[in-house]
Amino acid sequence: MPRILDGVAIAAAIKQEVTEEASALAVRGIQPGLAAVLVGNVAASEIYVRNKVQTCADLGIFSELITPPATVTTEEMLDLVATLNRRDEIDGILIQLPLPAHVDTKALLDAIDPAKDVDGFHPVNAGRLQAGRSALVPCTPAGIIEILKRSNIPIAGQHAVVVGRSDIVGKPAAMLLLHQNATVTICHSKTRNLGEITRQADILVAAIGRPGFITAEMVKPGATLVDVGINRITEKVEFERFFAGNAKREAAFAKNGSVIVGDIDPKAFELAGAYTPVPGGVGKLTIAMLMANTVRAAKMRRGN
C-alpha cells in the first residue's frame, strides 16, 4: 500500500514550533508582525487572507490587514509598501495575488524590503536561494521540503523531476531539492517525451496547474509523488474521469457541485511508494511556512 504523507499533521507540528519561537521572542519584548495587503473584493482571496490573519492570532504573531480599494493605483500601492518597509514592528509584508490588471504587480513585489519578503518572491531572495545562501524562501516549495524531510523520504542522491517552471513553485522547488543533493530535472508543458523523463523520477513534483496532468503511465512504481496542484472540477464528465466509483468523492460532488483534484491523476497514486494527497497534502503547508517565514524574518531583523 502506498504511504500517505500527511500534510495536516506536519503543518500542525510546524505551527507548534512557530508558537514556541514567537513565545521565546515575546520574552525579549519582540512580537513578530505581518502586514497582509488585500486589494479589492475577490472572494477566494478574502477567505485565504482571513485564514492567514487568524493563524497569526493563533500563533502569537501580530497581524495587520490592509484593504485598499480595487481602484487603487500602482503609485498608491508603492507608497503603501514604502510605509510598511519603514515600520519596524512589521517583519513581513504579504501582498495577496492576483492584483487588479491595472496595478504593476512586479513593481510592487520588487519594492518590498527583501528582509520583509515573507513570500520569497523578491529577486534578491531568489538570487540568494540560487546561491545557496540564507534567504526567505517561497512558502509552498519550502513546505515540499518539510514534508519530505519530516516523512523521512530520502532526497540526497535521488532523481527528482519537477514538472512546472513557475517562479513561485517550480523553480524554487527545483533549487531547494538541488541544495538537498538530489539530481534535479525541470520539465514543463513544452518538454518532449515528458513521460519518459517522469518515469525516471524517484521524487516527482507536479506543479503545472492542470488537473490530472500526470497519469499512471508517467509514474515509476514506488516513486514519491508530490502533488502541488489544486484544481476545482465542476463538470460531471471530468469528475468521472478521475473519481468514478469513489463513493466519498461522489457524495461531495453531489453536495457541492465540485471537487478538488491535483495535477496528478489519483489513479497514479496506486503505483507510488508515498504521495501527498489533494486536499490534505502540500496545500496545508503553505500558511504554516508563511508563519515560519514571518518569525524567521523577525529573528533576522530584530532577534539577534
Q: Is the bond preceding residue 98 a cis peptide, omega within 30 degrees?
A: yes
Is residue 31 among the annotated active site residues?
Answer: no
Catalytic residue among 52, 116, 171, 284: 52
Same domain, yes or no: 257 and 163: yes
Catalytic residue among 96, 116, 220, 265: 96
Same domain, yes or no: 104 and 146: no
Residue 238 lies in a domain: yes
Same domain, yes or no: 208 and 258: yes
CA distance 257 to 168: 30
Residue 207 is which amino acid? A
Same domain, yes or no: 34 and 151: no
Across the chain, the runs of DSSP E, i.e. the strands, are 3-4, 33-37, 62-66, 92-95, 159-163, 183-187, 203-206, 224-227, 231-233, 259-261, 274-275
Is residue 190 among the annotated active site residues?
Answer: no
Q: What is the pLDDT of residues 18-31, one digit of tens each?
A: 999 999 999 999 99
Query: Average model confidence (pLDDT) for the chain?
Result: 95
Same domain, yes or no: 147 and 279: yes
Is residue 96 among the annotated active site residues?
Answer: yes
Residue 304 lies in a domain: no
CB 162 within 8 A of CB 140: no
Q: What is the pLDDT of residues 206-235, one digit of tens each?
A: 999 999 999 999 999 999 999 999 999 999
Same domain, yes or no: 80 and 169: no
User: What is the model's pLDDT at position 173?
Assistant: 98
* Spans of the chain below 70 pLDDT: 303-304
User: What is the model's pLDDT at position 304?
Assistant: 63
Q: Is 301 exposed, middle or buried (0-12, 13-18, 19+ CB in 10 A)?
A: middle
Q: What is the CATH number of the domain that holds 238?
A: 3.40.50.720
Q: Is 175 exposed, middle or buried (0-12, 13-18, 19+ CB in 10 A)?
A: buried
Same domain, yes or no: 152 and 98: no
User: What is the model's pLDDT at position 284?
Assistant: 92
Same domain, yes or no: 105 and 147: no
Residue 302 lies in a domain: no
Residue 280 lies in a domain: yes
User: What is the model's pLDDT at position 45?
Assistant: 83
User: What is the model's pLDDT at position 38?
Assistant: 95
Q: Which three cell numbers stand for residue 266?
A: 489519483
Q: What is the CATH number of the domain that holds 81?
A: 3.40.50.10860
Residue ranges making up the domain that contains 215: 139-285
Same domain, yes or no: 154 and 272: yes
What's the gap between Cα 7 and its chain centre? 12
Q: Which three cell numbers stand for residue 279?
A: 486536499
Residue 5 lies in a domain: no
Same domain, yes or no: 150 and 280: yes
Q: Which three cell numbers stand for residue 289?
A: 511556512
Same domain, yes or no: 166 and 262: yes
User: What is the model's pLDDT at position 48?
Assistant: 87
Residue 125 lies in a domain: no
Characterize the bridge pairing of strands 231-233 and 259-261.
antiparallel
Catalytic residue among 91, 113, 117, 119: 119
User: What is the model's pLDDT at position 227?
Assistant: 98
Residue 51 lies in a domain: yes
Residue 299 lies in a domain: no
Coil vs helix vs strand at 68: coil
Across 57-120, the runs of DSSP E, i.e. the strands, are 62-66, 92-95
Same domain, yes or no: 270 and 148: yes
Q: Which three cell numbers stand for residue 31?
A: 512580537
* Residue 47, phi then psi, degrees to nearest 5: -65, -45
Q: Which three cell numbers stand for residue 132?
A: 545557496
Domain count, the chain: 2
